[in-house]
Amino acid sequence: MENNKYYTPSIEEFHVGFKFELLEPLKQGAVSAFEGWQKLTVKDISLLSNRYFKELFKQKYIRVKYLDSIDIQDLGFELLHNDGDALEFNIADKYDEITYLWFDYETHNIDIYVGDGYDKDYLFQGTIKNKSELKKVLKMIGVK
């Protein structure tokens, strides 16, 4: 399984709805400490031009949780199979068409397809590092 649950995102990953965590510095007199990691969601893209945000980003006080099985299940998918290297999920739409999602949790490669066996129609193949990105892809391909 993934050793490191978090990564520092690139600025290009940020969009409205993007979820990230911020380590908020707390300064009291001569003592400098941290309040802890706060979960935040981008509501306005102008955040990226904020000088304070840019400094926190530069200092690597921003992180994003890597996509995991719980995130995928939170989006409505059901775990079908865990082969040790990858996980397979499915979800049914309102017409009972089944969409499958194959997730390699080491590389974060994902295949999303309909059909099974040798007759697969791929809707997406690529790397997805976090839940916000997966939500965006699912919306783009019409799964959610």
What is the residue extent of each domain of the chain? 6-65, 69-140
pLDDT of residue 2: 44
pLDDT of residue 32: 55
Residues in the chain with pLDDT values less than 50: 1-2
Please name the residues in contact with 38: beta carbons below 8 A apart, sequence gap of 6 or more.
21, 22, 23, 24
Global pTM reads: 0.81
In 111-143, which positions are buried (b, 16+ CB within 10 angstroms) versus exposed (e)? bbbbeeeeeeeebbeeebbbbbbbbebbeeeeb
pLDDT of residue 1: 40
